[in-house]
Amino acid sequence: MLKIILPVILLLISNIFMTFAWYGHLKFKSSALIAVILISWGIAFFEYCFQVPANRIGYEVYNAYQLKTIQEVITLSVFVVFSALYLKEGLKWNYLIGFIFIILAVFFIFKKW
């Protein structure tokens, strides 16, 4: 059971770091680009500290396609919360429709045919 849930937890933590590394600097438009690049690299280090073991452990239970699908769903989920709370951006109806299609992709990836 732990091998099923641990990769998901590690990917969640990884994606929180990743989202801040990729988008956190958007609130600091006046900061020098080189500074935000270096800070983002520093944050990305911690992302990889969780992402690599997540995939290593997860590959014992999931195949690579399933791991990538899990990661994408987590990424979008984290990003929706990040975008709303940190960037103060709204969630529009067309974004929700797009997310529904991604959920359909999850169904097709994990369905045993």
pLDDT digit string, tens, across residues 18-53: 999 999 999 999 999 999 999 999 999 999 999 999
**Regarding predicted confidence, which is higher, 112 or 88?**
88
Q: Which residue has the tokens 């958007």?
A: 26
Distance of CA 60 to the CA centre of its chain: 20
> pTM of the predicted model, to two decimals?
0.87
What's the pLDDT at 49?
A: 98
For the cut 90, the answer to whether the pLDDT of residue 3 exceeds it is no
| Nearest-angstrom CA–CA distance, 21 and 51 | 14
> What mean pLDDT is reported for the chain?
94
